[in-house]
Each structure stands twice: as structure tokens, then as C-alpha cells.
Amino acid sequence: MTAAPHAFPGDLPIEDSLIKQHKLTPDEYARVEKALGRKPSYTELGVFSVMWSEHCSYKSSRVHLRRLPTKGPRVIQGPGENAGVVDIGDGFAAVFKMESHNHPSFIEPYQGAATGVGGILRDVFTMGARPIASLNSLRFGSPDHPRTPELLRGVVAGIGGYGNSIGVPTVGGEVQFDPSYDGNILVNAFTCGVARTDRIFYGRAAGIGNPILYIGAKTGRDGIHGATMASDEFGSAKEGTGELATASSIKKGVRSTMQVGDPFMEKLLLEACLELFAADVLEGIQDMGAAGLTSSSVEMAGRAGNGIEIDLDLIPRRARKMTPYELLLSESQERMLLVAKRGCEDAVIAICKKWDLDAAIVGRVTDSKRWVVKATPGFDPLDGGSPSGEKQIAADIPVDVLTDDAPLYDRPRQSAPVSANVDVPESTDPSADLLALLGSPNVGSRAWIWRQYDHIVRGGTVVRPGSDAAVVRVPCSRDGKVIDKHLAFAVDCNGRFVELSPEEGAKMAIAEVCRNLVCSGAEPIGITDCLNFASPEVPTTMDQIARAIDGLAEACRALEVPIVSGNVSLYNETNEGEGASRVRRPILPTPSVAAVGLLQKETDVVTQWFAGEGDVVFLLGTDAGEAGLGGSEYQSLKSGKLGGPAPRIDLDAEKKLQKLVLDLARGQLLASAHDVADGGLAVAIAECCATAPGSKPAFGAKVTVPAGASVAASLFGEAPLVSSSRFARRTARRSKSRQRRRAFRSSSSAARAATRSPSPSALTPSTSRCPPFAKRASAVSSRSSAPERQREGGARQARQTSPGRSIGPGNGRAFLLVARIRSGLPGSRAIQSAPSHARQALVNDETRVRRALESMGRWVGRWCGSCRLA
């Protein structure tokens, strides 16, 4: 037991109403008193409120998160630090994480989204990495809801305003709309950086006696209790502000919990930190994010097993008469807490001064294992002069009470009732249904959003938004050598599937985000998650959380991709009314996942759009019609309801399928590849037809649906599938027109033959027969500039010179693989008539593909390229 801290001006008496406002339950408050051996001070109550909140402690999810696979041969740092770290070879590592900023973005969309971007950037460069790419995952309510347009515009503007200003490209993301998000939108931000493996920095207060420095922007009253607000559901208009009582709010009215960002200050902070890392003057570094100075100092002490002592009189500030409570809980942005090596303080301050940043020594590392905060009552450095009185203790708490010994709950669980099947009418006019889907909010073009983001700053973006995954080239310099690394990024989640089946929906999210990477030629090497759910105090929601985590874990183990970082955002719901009339409106369970992939070389890059007339499109995977229309966009379009069983995924088949597609991409055998997801096969084909960048032509596609199958399920079902196309080398001299006619005839015969067998299906793109949906898709597709086409031209030309034939398995998630069949199988007339060197290349190519299939342990159907030139 320690002596009670000093009572500072503005402190409030500890009463039941104040404890309730700080979101501590009676049992939790009793634990506080037991741990301290006394009543807490007003400042200490605020500290426990934020450190024991869901946002900081994960008290309802930690017991389940332990089941996630977090280790692997490439993993350098898993969960528990500011970001995950994965080895990408040659002495470099990818550093990445995804975080939520949901509640702040609903309250004030621009600043909420902007500070979400700023926070995730700091999490990454705190580890010693320079950020190279950002993505986002957004959820909004119904487009018809009166607040949706305002929220959408504000969030998009906030993401672009911050990201564009700091100079980190926003290269991709996803946006979905559903009425469940009407009162609680989701804004999840992802950033990846690259660092040297021998220069990874951690948030640890190491070295007894080492000085602790505060650098960055000054502290104000913005964002006080933001972490606690993020751990509470929205209720009435007053509750929806997320306000908590402070001395000033009780006297002057409600005070905002919103943070305010400054991207230009963040840019200075970024460059200063990178220079400090290179100077080798730091022992540890931590971003002052949620819970501000409190969480950063407590977490650093906890990871190192040490204590910390802080002098609040030395904190740079911009607001007058700030109390210890406000200084410790402020979430003012663009601030860092450093532990410098002893004797290096002056060097740290000099570098910060060079970048026009405030820097001050505010404390030291101790061996007490306690978190001690001191201040002089009534002292305000903005008044000038020095403290005249004796420093008093504002808080004195054992570090482990705030970290390892925080509450941990295994909350009650109850399975939700099985969702009833929803009758969905058959498609009597597929063209009209496709047009309706292409114009729907969840399928239509997102170009108007990502065009507001600078996705080419730094000059490394190889594949821009609009394909399955973004690809960024990263020049990595070491020992005078520059090595180009190519990383791919994707983010994904379908909340409808998770609502119908938490396990299957979570598995589908992992499978699809990895599928997006392999469709781009990249090997998935690491995943970060952002688990967005409603209140864990509701047993059915807690069951969703636990089962979704199990689904994520199962899929990651099956695909051998670890989860190395992440975030949990709970209480995403709106409660309207009181007592018996209270109505609970939870969001769809949304465990968003982002994945990072590694390409061996730039010529491995594959994009989703069709590249040439006469290419043959192959559908790899199960027939979507087998899984029905549960959770699909078509079901929503036709019935306005959600029901029926979610599609199920065979993870073993998925792994084999992804390996095959990746092998074909690395073998330069694919012209394009695209996964079948929202809207089903028909939408995937339309996207392949019309999403090519720049002035490239839109293509049409002839599609034959197998006889006896449901047209709606086959065209618009969202069971796991993939499509691809591949270029073949020209082997004989023919006129262009003759080549085109023969290629078209060959492709058409392939389509007819494929419809007679269940696997694979074949589709033929052709500019000469362009159905209405291709023209419509062209109208909603995005276009990029000529420089983009020039940058992509080199990789595309390299792929065009490689022969091959597209083939694939008949199980697992579906892919569309597009192949330009201008040669036949060994022994065909096309090969026999080819020059000897070309003939040998074609035979070698057939052997490569055959071996890829045989490596899967099975012969899949027959050669998709068996329909050859006559």
C-alpha cells in the first residue's frame, strides 16, 4: 500500500456516479481498490478507466486471440508490439498493422478518419520503418440514410487529406454499405513500411536510469478519454458523443473526445524519427496514441519489466491550466515518447530541433516496477517562470496492475438462431440483373473514391487501385547497394457471410485476401486483422467473436500465413430507447483482414483485366451454383434480406488452387487472373472486361451456362472461385486477321467443349461480340493515365513473350484464368508447323504446366487448352 496521491486543483470526489461515467463496473472498481490498498485519486481513476478499457486491454477478446497462429519462418515480431514484422529477404522486413477509428469517424468523419491514418502511420514508423503504402476498409450505412453521404464524403476526404499531405500512397481498400452500419460506421486503416532487419525498434523502457523524452506536437485538451469512448456503444445523442465527465466538462458542459490531426507535423515527426534511428541514440520508442502519455509510458514499462517516473511540469503544452488528469489522458496527435541511451539526450534534442519539433526530458526509467507521476500543484509553464512549490505525486500504480493483471473475461456465449433460408427468384433476365448489380452500391466502381487519394506518390506504385491487389516497388538500400523489393497488398471481409456463419465467413475472408495476392503474382507472407463486432456482453455477439477467431485461425494454419498484428474494436452498435423499449442495432460482424504478399520479380505481376481479343477464360474451382445464393449481393438485390447458408470453403483445395495460380504466375504463364467474389461470376467477368487502365478497349465475353444449372446461382452465386487468362507465344507467321479468326474459333470450341464437362468452364472474350453488360461495365470502370500504362508496359510485354496454357483444379475457391490459345498440345498441328526453337519452347511450356498440376497430387479434368488451332 502506498500513500494516497495529492489532491490537485480541479480533482473531483470519487463517487459511484463518477465511477460509472468512467465505465468501470463495481467489480472492477473493487479490484482497483484491492490492487492499490486504498481509494484511487481522481487522476488514477482516469488512468484505470483507459488502461482497462476494451480498446487498450482487450479484456473480452484476449482469451480467444491466443488461438491465432502468430509464428512462422518469416516472422520477426508478432502481436504485442506497435506493428508486426515479417522478413522479406536480403536484410529487409515489412512492418505492418491495421487499426480501427470507428467511433471518432462517426462523430466527426474528417478528423476521425484523418487521425486514424496518422495513428497507423506512427505505429509503423515507430518500429523503424519508412511507410510505403496505406489501405483502408470502410463500412457505411444504407446509401438512403440521411447521414451516409455526409459520413462518406468526410471519411474519404479525411483519409485523402492526411495521406496525401504526408506523402504515403493510398494504394487500395474496400467500401461496403449495409443498413446495420447506419448508426456506427467502420473506418479501418492499414499501413505497411519497410525497415532493415538490424534496425527494428521496440516500445520498451530499457536501461535503468535512461532518460525519457517527449517529442512532437504540444499537448492540448483534444481527445481526452478517446480510448474509453471507443470502448462504448452509441446510445442517445448525448451518449453518441462519447463524452465522459471531467472537471471542466461538468463545469462548462460536454467536451469533445475528438482528436485533431496535423499531417505536416507528422511528416516532420516521421523524418526526425528515421534520423534518430540511423543515429543509434535510442533504447525504445512508443507512439502516444490511444490514452496518450498514459498508455505509451505504461506499455513501455510493462514490456521491459521496469518502472517509470514522469514529471508533468516538463510536458510541452498548448492549453493553459491543464491538470494531471488532462495531461495524462489527452490524445493530442503527432507525439512520441522516447527512451534515449544515457548521454545521448543532447543528440536527440538537436535532431528534433533540426526538424522544428518540441523535445523535452520528462522522466527516467526506474527499477521500481511502478508507474509514478509527479507535478507541482497550480504550476503552468505557459505562465512563465519555474515551479515554486514542492512536487507532489499525482499517481502511483504498480505497472503490472495496468498491463498483465488487467481484467480478463471469458464471457458467456450463446449461438444465434440459424438464419432462415430466403427464397430468391430465378434470373429471368440475366443481362438486366447484371446491370442492376453493376450499378449497386456494393459492386459499382470505387474509382471516384480512390481518385481522391494520391496512390502514386514516391513513384513506386506498379499496380494502382482497381485490380485484385496493389503492387508497390520498394528500392531498398544497404551497404551501397539498391535492391528492388515488390510487395502486394489487399484487404477484405464479407460481413454477410460472417453473420450467417462466423467460422465460414472468417475463413472466406482469409482465403479471399490471400487469393487477391496470388491473383497478382504475390506469395502471402503475413496478415493483420481488425475485428469489428458489437457488444461482447451480449452472449450471441461473444459467440460470433470466438467462432470468427476460430475461423481465422483455421484458415491461416491451412494456408500457412501467420497473423502478426491486429486490433479489436467492440461495442460497434447503436442502442435506441430505454428500458423495455430499448432497441439494439448491432453491426454485421466484420473481422477485416489485410494481407501482405511478396513477389519474386516485377515480371511476375498479374492484373485482373482482359488483355486481348481471342483469349480463353477458364473458371477454376467449384461450380458456384452448388452453394446457392446465401449472403450474396444477388440475394440482397432481389429480396432485400439476408439468409440461407453461407458458402463453405474447402481449405485444402483452396491451398492447392492458390499454389497452382501462383506457380503459373511465376512461370509467366498468365495474362490475367481475377477471383470471383461480390456479385459472382458474371460481375467478375464484367470487371475483367472493363477495368483495364487508360484508353485500353473494353472487351466482351461469351458465356455458356451448363445445362440444368440455376442461372442465378451460376452467374451470381458467390461460392469460392477464380478466373485467369494466359498469353501464348506466336509460333507461326500468319496475317493478323487470320490469327484472330483462328484464335476466336479455337476459343469458341474450347467454350463449347468445356460446357460438356463439369470442370473447368471456359469463356471467350471478344471485342466483336460485346454484350450490353460489358458496355455498362466500361461506363462504371475506372481509367488511369498514360504514364500508368507506360509503367505497366514493360511487365506486360515480358508476359506476352511466354507461352503456356491455363489449367486448374475443380475444387476450392474460384479463379478466372484467361489464356490466349494460339498453340496446341504437343503433337497438334500448331506445334508441328512451328519452327523448331518455338516448338521446343511450347513442349517445355506444356511440361511446366503438367508438372504444376501433378504437384497437386491429381490430374484435374483435362487440358483446358485442348481446344487448339486447327
Q: Which residues are annotated as a binding site for substrate?
A: 100-103, 122, 259, 331-333, 569
Instruction: Evaluate if residue 100 carries a pLDDT over 60.
Output: yes
Both 39 and 84 in one domain: the answer is no
Q: Beta-carbon neighbour count of residue 15 at 10 Å?
A: 9
Residue 23 and residue 34: Cα distance in Å, rounded?
A: 18
- Helix 651-666 × helix 539-559 angle, to 10°: 40
Both 38 and 138 in one domain: the answer is no
Is residue 715 within 8 A of residue 629, CB to CB? The reply is: no
Is residue 40 within 8 A of residue 406, CB to CB? The reply is: no
Question: Percent of the chain scored above 70 by pLDDT?
Answer: 77
**More reliable by pLDDT, 644 or 836:** 644
Provide the domain count of the chain.
4
> What is the sign of the dihedral through the CA atoms of 667, 670, 674 and 675?
negative
> What is the sign of the dihedral through the CA atoms of 171, 176, 180 and 183?
positive
Q: 818 falls in which pLDDT band (50, 70, 90)?
A: low
Instruction: Evaluate if residue 209 carries a pLDDT over 80.
Output: yes
Is residue 133 within 8 A of residue 489, CB to CB? The reply is: yes
**Continuous segment of H or E residues that includes residue 287:** strand 282-287
Both 267 and 387 in one domain: the answer is yes
Give me the domain span that covers residue 277: 211-225+242-402
Residue 364 and residue 825: Cα distance in Å, rounded?
A: 73
- Whether residue 729 is contained in a domain is answered as yes
CA distances (Å), 594 to each of 191, 350, 561, in order? 10, 38, 12
Alpha helices in 398-501 (DSSP H): 399-402, 430-438, 447-450, 495-500
Is residue 621 within 8 A of residue 722, CB to CB? The reply is: yes
Q: Which residues are annotated as a binding site?
A: 58, 97, 99-103, 122-123, 259, 287, 331-333, 529, 566-567, 569
Q: Which residues contact 435 (CB under 8 A, 6 or more apart)?
A: 772, 773, 776
Grid coordinates representing 455 are 496512390
Instruction: Evaluate if residue 708 carries a pLDDT over 60.
Output: no
Question: Can you give the CATH number for the domain in which 219 is found?
Answer: 3.90.650.10
**Range in 570-574, 613-617, 845-849 with the lowest mean pLDDT:** 845-849
- pLDDT of 747 reads 32
Residue 243 and residue 252: Cα distance in Å, rounded?
A: 13
> Which residue, 164, 45, 60, is CA-closest to 113?
164
Residue-wise pLDDT tens digits, 456-508: 999 999 999 999 999 999 999 888 889 999 999 999 999 999 999 999 999 99
Name the pTM for this structure: 0.84
Grid coordinates representing 864 are 483446358
Instruction: Evaluate if residue 439 carries a pLDDT over 70.
Output: yes
Instruction: Evaluate if residue 241 carries a pLDDT over 50.
Output: no
Residue 249 and residue 243: Cα distance in Å, rounded?
A: 9
CA distances (Å), 482 to each of 90, 276, 478, 479, in order? 11, 22, 6, 8
Instruction: Evaluate if residue 389 carries a pLDDT over 90.
Output: no
Cell 509467366 sits at which residue? 668
**What mean pLDDT comes out for the span 851-868?**
33
**Continuous segment of H or E residues that includes residue 61:** none
- Whether residue 496 is contained in a domain is answered as yes
Where b means 16+ CB within 10 Å and e means fewer, 397-421 reads bbbbbbbeebeeeebebeeeeebee
Residue at 577: amino acid letter: G
Both 365 and 490 in one domain: the answer is no
Q: Which residues are annotated as a binding site for Mg(2+)?
A: 99, 123, 287, 567
Active site includes 225? no
Residue 217 and residue 656: Cα distance in Å, rounded?
A: 51
Both 653 and 746 in one domain: the answer is yes
Q: Beta-carbon neighbour count of residue 218 at 10 Å?
A: 16
Q: What is the mean pLDDT of the chain?
A: 81
Instruction: Evaluate if residue 802 carries a pLDDT over 70.
Output: no
- pLDDT of 843 reads 43
Query: What letter would DSSP give residue 397?
Result: E
Query: What letter would DSSP give residue 421?
Result: P
Give the residues across from 187 on adjacent strands: 138
Instruction: Evaluate if residue 721 carries a pLDDT over 70.
Output: no
> E strands of 791-856, at which residues?
815-820
- pLDDT of 646 reads 82
Q: Beta-carbon neighbour count of residue 442 at 10 Å?
A: 18
Active site includes 55? yes
3-class state of residue 543 by DSSP: helix
Residue at 675: amino acid letter: D
> Could you say which of 6, 64, 101, 674 is catalytic?
101
Both 523 and 612 in one domain: the answer is no
Both 285 and 167 in one domain: the answer is no
Q: Which residues are annotated as a binding site for ATP?
A: 58, 97, 529, 566
Residue at 642: amino acid letter: L
**Range in 275-279, 306-310, 569-573, 759-763 with the lowest mean pLDDT:** 759-763
> Could you say which of 6, 55, 225, 674 is catalytic?
55
- pLDDT of 417 reads 87
- Whether residue 205 is contained in a domain is answered as no
> Which residue, 514, 472, 475, 474, is CA-closest to 493?
514
**What mean pLDDT comes out for the span 443-450?**
92
Phi/psi at 56 (nearest 5 deg)?
-100, -35
Both 647 and 671 in one domain: the answer is yes
- Whether residue 657 is contained in a domain is answered as yes
Both 666 and 814 in one domain: the answer is yes
Instruction: Evaluate if residue 791 carries a pLDDT over 70.
Output: no
- Helix 772-780 × helix 430-438 angle, to 10°: 0
Instruction: Evaluate if residue 547 carries a pLDDT over 50.
Output: yes
**What mean pLDDT comes out for the span 411-428?**
90
Both 529 and 653 in one domain: the answer is no
Environment class of residue 292 by beta-carbon count within 10 Å: exposed (0-12), middle (13-18) or buried (19+)? buried
Computed over its alpha carbons, how large is the radius of gyration of the chain?
29
Instruction: Evaluate if residue 741 carries a pLDDT over 60.
Output: no
- Whether residue 841 is contained in a domain is answered as yes
Grid coordinates representing 445 are 466502381
Question: Can you give the CATH number for the domain in which 514 is found?
Answer: 3.30.1330.10
Residue at 433: amino acid letter: D
Q: 205 falls in which pLDDT band (50, 70, 90)?
A: very high
Q: 703 falls in which pLDDT band (50, 70, 90)?
A: low
Environment class of residue 428 by beta-carbon count within 10 Å: exposed (0-12), middle (13-18) or buried (19+)? exposed
**Continuous segment of H or E residues that includes residue 659:** helix 651-666
Residue 308 and residue 326: Cα distance in Å, rounded?
A: 19
- Whether residue 234 is contained in a domain is answered as no
Where b means 16+ CB within 10 Å and e means fewer, 769-795 reads ebbebbebbbebbbbbeeebeebbeeb
**Range in 394-408, 608-622, 835-849 with the lowest mean pLDDT:** 835-849
**More reliable by pLDDT, 316 or 860:** 316
Q: Which residues contact 414 (CB under 8 A, 6 or more apart)?
A: 539, 540, 542, 543
First-to-final CA distance of the chain? 91
Which of 376, 402, 428 marks a domain boundary?
402
Residue 127 and residue 86: Cα distance in Å, rounded?
A: 12
Both 41 and 82 in one domain: the answer is no
Residue 170 and residue 188: Cα distance in Å, rounded?
A: 13
Both 318 and 361 in one domain: the answer is yes
Residue 18 and residue 806: Cα distance in Å, rounded?
A: 67
Grid coordinates representing 359 are 523535445
- pLDDT of 410 reads 97
- Whether residue 427 is contained in a domain is answered as no
Instruction: Evaluate if residue 379 carries a pLDDT over 90.
Output: yes
Bridge pairing between strands 307-311 and 370-375:
parallel
- Whether residue 415 is contained in a domain is answered as no
CA 329 to chain centre: 28
Give the residues across from 487 on adjacent strands: 472, 598
Which of 402, 428, 451 marks a domain boundary?
402
Question: Omega before 760 cis (within 30°)?
Answer: yes
**What mean pLDDT comes out for the span 614-630?**
69
